[in-house]
């Protein structure tokens, strides 16, 4: 039902946006198919083209006013006609880049009010409290190393999403798993660099290059070059969101990675060209130090927090060719529902 309510909201806003008011103090509104104790909820658009949802409240109720960063605002608003005067909780999105996310929030509001029409304001506050952190701008943004790593992982994720819209469930790195993508018996580890020469890769932990039990591990490595005409990180995020059938899970994983949609303006100028894109099967010849190797040698593993650097071999002689990479992606995604 939430999905259909989201579509209804989007349809209302699109119609309202086609002719929004010219007076900055006015809203153009339309009735939504959900009614609380004090009246019907409204979709609205203001003179700046910003989207609102209005929840009617009683004369005795007061709205908990809040402004989250520069993105989400909750305020009290009264609408008056020649015959009516109605007070509303006015929830608005101040950043049009977040309209898709705002649609999800408002569809949850509609669903909550429909379930508790006598407690429309309380239901709205509960929904907003659940979503609020995604609209708040963070006090820190990602540095270069984490940005390049995230870009590379999203580059791989986008390719997997073209095979299955459910590929987000395979992205395991944000949750702290030892490999970036996990497919049961197989796994991918993704590495990236902006260095102009060499193929040095920093490995974190003795398990990062250990294959899953009875499975295989593959390493994707990219050389990225920062260029003003490169591929935008913000656009890449939008692409994977549009390809995914579980946007909420993807937003959560982006947040776990340190990327918040509310901070998109900070990343607007982050653009990379993928200069090299190499894939390797981690086999007996691949440079690595792992728990399995140490255990097989009879050495007790009494160390922790191990980090080391390897030099990747020439992909022309040791990497997978394009057809092998394509076949690999088809194989790991074949059992994932589209």
Q: Which residue has the higher pLDDT, 77 or 304?
A: 77
The residues facing 278 across adjacent strands are 221
Give the contacts of 314 (CB within 8 A, at least 6 positions apart): none
User: Per-residue DSSP letters for 93-132?
Assistant: ES-GGGHHHHHHHHHHHHHHHHH-GGGHHHHHHHHHHHHH
41 close to 56: Cβ distance less than 8 angstroms = yes
Q: Mean pLDDT, to the nearest integer, of 9-19?
A: 93
Whole-structure pTM value: 0.67
Whether 119 shows a pLDDT value over 80: the answer reads yes
- Render pLDDT for 212-258 as a digit per residue (tens, 0 to 9): 989 999 999 999 999 989 999 999 999 999 999 888 899 999 999 99
Mean pLDDT of the chain: 89
Whether 66 shows a pLDDT value over 70: the answer reads no
The residues facing 155 across adjacent strands are none
124 close to 89: Cβ distance less than 8 angstroms = yes
């Amino acid at each position: 039902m939430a999905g259909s309510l989201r579509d209804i909201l989007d349809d209302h806003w699109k119609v309202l946006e086609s002719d929004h008011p010219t007076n900055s103090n006015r809203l153009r509104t339309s009735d939504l198919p959900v009614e609380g104790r004090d009246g019907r909820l409204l979709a609205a658009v203001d003179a700046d083209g910003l989207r609102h949802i209005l929840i009617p409240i009683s004369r005795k109720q007061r709205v908990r006013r809040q402004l989250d960063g520069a993105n989400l605002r909750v305020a009290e608003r009264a609408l008056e006609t020649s015959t009516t005067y109605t007070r509303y909780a006015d929830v608005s999105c101040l950043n049009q880049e977040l309209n898709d996310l705002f649609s999800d929030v408002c569809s949850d509001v509609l669903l909550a009010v429909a379930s508790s029409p006598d407690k429309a304001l309380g239901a709205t506050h509960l929904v907003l409290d659940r979503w609020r952190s995604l609209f708040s701008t963070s006090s820190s943004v990602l540095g270069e190393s984490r940005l390049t790593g995230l870009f590379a992982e999203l580059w791989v994720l986008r390719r997997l999403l073209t095979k299955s819209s459910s590929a987000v469930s395979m992205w395991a790195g944000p949750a702290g798993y030892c490999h970036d993508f996990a497919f049961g018996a197989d796994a991918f580890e993704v590495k990236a660099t902006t260095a102009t020469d060499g193929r040095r890769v920093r490995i974190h932990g003795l398990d990062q290059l250990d294959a899953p039990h009875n499975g295989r591990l593959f390493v994707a490595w990219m050389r990225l070059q920062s260029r003003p005409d490169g591929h935008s990180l913000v656009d890449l995020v939008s692409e994977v969101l549009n390809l995914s059938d579980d946007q909420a899970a993807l937003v959560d994983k982006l947040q776990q990675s340190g990327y918040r949609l509310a901070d998109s303006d900070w990343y607007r100028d982050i653009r990379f060209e993928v200069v090299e894109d190499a894939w390797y099967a981690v086999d007996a010849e691949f440079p690595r130090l792992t728990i399995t190797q140490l255990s097989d040698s009879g050495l007790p593993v009494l160390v922790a927090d191990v980090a080391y650097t390897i030099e990747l071999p020439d992909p022309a002689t040791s990497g997978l060719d394009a057809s092998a990479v394509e076949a690999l992606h088809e194989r790991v995604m074949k059992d994932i529902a589209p």
